[in-house]
Amino acid sequence: MKKIKIFFSAILFSLISTIALADFDWKKYAGEKIVFAYDIHPYVDALVEKLPEFEALTGIKVDAQIFPDDVYWNKLNLEITTDSGAWDVAGTGVQPTWDTSVGNHNVDLSKFLNDPSMTSPDYDYNDIYPSLRSAMTWDIKGEEVVGNGNGVWGLPHSFENMNLMYRNDILGKHNIKPPKTLPELTATCKKLKQVEPGITPMALRGVNFWSSVHTAPASIAKSYGVVDYVMKDGKIADTGLDSKASIKFHKDYVAMVKECAAKSWPNDNWYQVVDALTSGNAAMAVDANMFGFWNNIKDPDGKNPSGKISFAPPPTAPGAKNFESNIWIWCITMPSASKKQGPAWYFMQWATSKKMVLDGAMMGKMVNPIRKSTWDSADWKKYANQPEFNNYYDTFMEVQDRAELFFTPRYGFGEAMNAWSVAMQEMVNGRPVEETLKELAGSIRAGI
Amino acid sequence: MIKQSPERSFKNFLILPSVIVLLCFLFVFFYGVYLSFTDLKLGKPTINFVGLKNYIYLWKNPLFWKSTKLTIYFTLVAVFVQALLGILLAKLFSTNVFFAKIFRPIILLPLVLPPMSVALMWTTMMNPERGVLNYFLGLFGIEPFMWISQYSTAMLSVIFIDVWTYTPFFTLIIYAGLLGVNQEMKEAAQEAGAGAWITFWKIELPFMMPYVLIAAVFRIIESFNQFDIFIGTTGGGPAKATTVYSIYAYIQSFQNLNFGRGTAILFVNWWLVLIGALITIKLYQIARNRVS
């Protein structure tokens, strides 16, 4: 009897699978046209290059609208929150999506992921790194974002984890080892200033925008035990930015900025950090690891410092058991106002499919790849382990185990975190750490 | 009932498009004012009328008062320095000195550059370590200056950029005024024994003043609203050192997504612009009456 049951179950399963397989059809939306918007970025270059493959596979035409960074984010906010319906797929990050998802301006993609007729059987969502999936998953309760839920608000497209990157030619010349703790980093800067007075020891973001706290500060602060928010019964109860751990971290961090950073630190952002490290004007940076990868690529003009950037985990608190690494995820989302959600979803799953992620990585553009299968593939291993990339691959594998989003999901994330970046400028400018953090925490508490 | 002639009706019909355009402008303005009384936040599904809540928040917020001081300080200092330099350059251009001939066309160049390009250009030049300005200062043995990277020097550096960009505007307007000064009066004063300084102070300057003030009206309006140079150089920092109203409103609206609060700041700014412009227009009328 049991054998008969198993036999019929197997037949039933294969029938269902066959029906499901038969249901999914890449050509279902042939003849449709969608609009895809993104920031100017190598990640989107890879997609645009491969668009003819998608159009041949599905018969869906894609109008890729790529905008300069300085206009894109405001445009994105306005397009999505005003439900203009002009875009069917939009590139963005996790944090901006917290803000736009509360008003149902984004589509919860779980309805597509759980529908076998809409998702290719070989898509394998669980192949995407768990920390990336979890960062894109939350629920909306009332007008609030509540983490660890069931709603999937975007698909990770590529991502950055924070590494210590250093010029092996500069550190090697003076036999300096990459620092492991924040005080060690400060001491290393002091030494570098003595032996290489012409360069800045550390390229560091310092602008009064949250982008400057999500790299080095968030990663290092976590190893000190700092949290942005204290949770109680699944709800945000308080901020942790004026805790003892936070005061200790900020004292060490401010000392490090004063010793290590360029004098232009308050005005330095991503572009200045990339430029300083790649030009050799700076010896180290704690920032997104993929720019170290990109600048190690051999280019025919010889402009890249190919092979000269090495990688290490971010520095920690003194005596900390582990390092921590914050992540920034580029994801693609679907505005609720899109009238072509079916074709848009087809494009999204293609753009994050195993094949596209591997192809994009092998083009040297969609780095870091989001899928574990890509990291396990022989092709990618061979490519990413070429001598010019130094220890990029191994460091990624080491860091990725501890890489996750530092920030607590919340509507209005930017207001509190922008205030943190301004407070950082004030402390570096000489304002007492305790006083500044108390005022910062007070303003954040008022908004909870 | 008064019956209009067909000709008058036709004239009314012709001005109708202008009236409609004017109403559209007014609608946008008053809609912005209305938003300042709401809790509009980008992304949130509901908008509620909150009365004076946004204004009360600003009133109690030290950053608002700091921003008020910075906005007024920036406007007054920048416009005053531009007017002063504008008068000097206009006076120089009215002579036949060799440099005047060369610089007359060149001086207008900053005005035709997009303000954002100006900001990015100066940001690069003002880099404390690798900027060209400190390189030149170094040639004279002067220590590197922190320019826009330090709290105490950031606002003065932005004023410096604004002065560089907009002094030509003053120069142009005042130079035009100077060309209209009655030559016979000048010659009569010189024949009566008045020196160059007395002639300038008693004759030329009073004639120039209406032009200075009319240029100041435009520059006061633009300076209160100056955004591009701030966002392209300091972004309001370091540590709020240059958070003028336009930047404060931008941060509230686009970074913190709080449009209600952002429009409240802009409405306060509008009042400042209005008061500043009205005072300057009054001064213009006084200066003009004196000349007449």
Q: What is the per-residue pLDDT for A22? A: 52
Cβ neighbours of B254 in A, within 8 Å? 74, 77
CA distance B56 to chain A (A): 15
Q: Are A170 and A251 in contact (CB under 8 A)?
A: no
CA distance B144 to chain A (A): 10
* Beta carbons within 10 angstroms of residue A271's beta carbon: 10
Q: Is residue B38 part of a domain?
A: no
Q: Which of A264, A415, A429 sits opposite B129 (nearest CB)?
A: A264
- Could you tell me which residues of chain B have a Cβ less than 8 Å from any Cβ in chain A? 41-46, 123, 127-130, 144, 146, 148-151, 233-240, 251, 254-258
CB-side neighbour CA atoms (13 Å) of A1: 0
Phi, psi dihedral angles at A144 (to 5 degrees): -120, 155
Query: Is B45 within 8 Å of A418 when comparing Cβ atoms?
Result: no
Q: Which CATH class is domain A28-159+329-397?
A: alpha beta
**C-alpha pair distances (Å), A238 with each of A210, A214, A277, A421:** 19, 20, 38, 19
Radius of gyration of chain B measured on its C-alpha atoms: 24
Q: What is the pLDDT of residues A393-414, one digit of tens each?
A: 999 999 999 999 999 999 888 8
Q: How far apart are the first and last CA of chain A?
A: 61
Q: What is the per-residue pLDDT for A148? A: 82
Do A28-159+329-397 and A160-327+404-447 show the same overall fold?
A: yes
The contacts of residue A12 (CB under 8 Å, 6+ apart) are: none
Query: Is B44 within 8 Å of A267 when comparing Cβ atoms?
Result: no
Domain ranges of chain A: 28-159+329-397, 160-327+404-447
CA distance B240 to chain A (A): 7
Domains: count for chain B: 1
Burial of A57 (0-12, 13-18, 19+ CB in 10 A): middle
CA distance B66 to chain A (A): 15
* Tokens standing for residue B81: 């320095």
CA distance B86 to chain A (A): 31
Number of cross-chain residue pairs from A and B with Cβ atoms under 8 Å apart: 92
Q: Please state which architecture CATH assigns to domain A160-327+404-447.
A: 3-Layer(aba) Sandwich (3.40)
Q: Is the peptide bond before A409 cis (omega within 30 degrees of 0)?
A: no
Cβ neighbours of A105 in B, within 8 Å? 43
Chain A: residue nearest B45 by CA?
A103
- Could you tell me which residues of chain A have a Cβ less than 8 Å from any Cβ in chain B? 74, 77-78, 80-81, 99-105, 143, 200, 207-209, 262-267, 281, 411-412, 414-415, 418, 422, 425-426, 429, 431
CA distance B177 to chain A (A): 41
* Tokens standing for residue A379: 């092709």
Chain A: residue nearest B254 by CA?
A74
Q: What is the pLDDT of residues B91-130, one digit of tens each?
A: 888 888 888 888 888 888 898 899 889 999 999 999 998 8
Query: Is B239 within 8 Å of A200 when comparing Cβ atoms?
Result: no
| Three-state DSSP state, A108 | coil
Strands A200-203 and A282-288: parallel
Q: Which domain holds residue B273?
A: 53-291
Chain B: residue nearest A443 by CA?
B61
Q: What is the per-residue pLDDT for A2? A: 52
Q: Is residue B36 part of a domain?
A: no
Q: What is the per-residue pLDDT for B202? A: 84
Chain B: residue nearest A276 by CA?
B130
pLDDT band for position B277 (50/70/90)?
Answer: very high
Q: Which of A103, A264, A412 sits opposite B256 (nearest CB)?
A: A412
Q: How many residues does chain A have?
A: 448
Query: Is B238 within 8 Å of A103 when comparing Cβ atoms?
Result: no
Q: Is residue B96 part of a domain?
A: yes
Q: Is residue B12 part of a domain?
A: no
Q: What is the pLDDT of residues B218-255, one digit of tens each?
A: 999 999 999 999 999 999 989 999 999 999 999 999 88
3-state secondary structure A383-396: HHCCHHHCCHHHHH
Q: Provide block-wise average pLDDT over 10 residues at a time, chain A (448 residues).
A: 52 47 85 95 93 97 91 89 94 94 94 96 96 95 86 96 97 96 98 95 94 95 96 90 97 98 93 94 96 92 89 97 96 97 98 97 96 97 96 96 93 91 96 97 90
Query: Is A267 within 8 Å of B258 when comparing Cβ atoms?
Result: no
Q: Which of B41, B238, B256 sits opposite A425 (nearest CB)?
A: B238
Mean pLDDT of B180-204: 82
Query: Is B149 within 8 Å of A266 when comparing Cβ atoms?
Result: yes
Taking each helix axis from N to C end, the angle separating B259-291 and B6-35, rounded to the nearest 10 degrees, works out to 130
Q: Which of A101, A208, A429 sits opposite B236 (nearest CB)?
A: A208
DSSP state of A199: S
H-state helical runs in chain B: 6-35, 53-60, 62-93, 98-106, 109-112, 115-125, 132-139, 151-179, 183-191, 196-199, 205-224, 228-233, 245-250, 259-291
Q: What is the per-residue pLDDT for A20? A: 47
Q: Is the peptide bond before A368 cis (omega within 30 degrees of 0)?
A: yes
Q: Is residue B245 part of a domain?
A: yes
- Cβ density class B101-136: b for 16+ within 10 Å, e for less: eebeeebeebeeeebeebbeebbebbbbbbbebbee
Cβ neighbours of B251 in A, within 8 Å? 418
Q: Is residue B142 part of a domain?
A: yes
- The Cα–Cα gap between B210 and B217 comes to 11
Q: What is the per-residue pLDDT for A15? A: 46
Chain A: residue nearest B236 by CA?
A208
The CATH number of whichever domain residue B283 belongs to comes to 1.10.3720.10
- The Cα–Cα gap between A5 and A16 comes to 16
Q: Is residue B268 part of a domain?
A: yes
CA distance A206 to chain B (A): 9
pLDDT band for position B214 (50/70/90)?
Answer: very high
CA distance A172 to chain B (A): 24
Cβ neighbours of A100 in B, within 8 Å? 42-43
pLDDT band for position B262 (50/70/90)?
Answer: very high
Q: Is residue B29 part of a domain?
A: no
Cβ neighbours of A415 in B, within 8 Å? 255-258
- The answer to whether ipTM exceeds 0.90 is no
Cβ neighbours of A74 in B, within 8 Å? 254
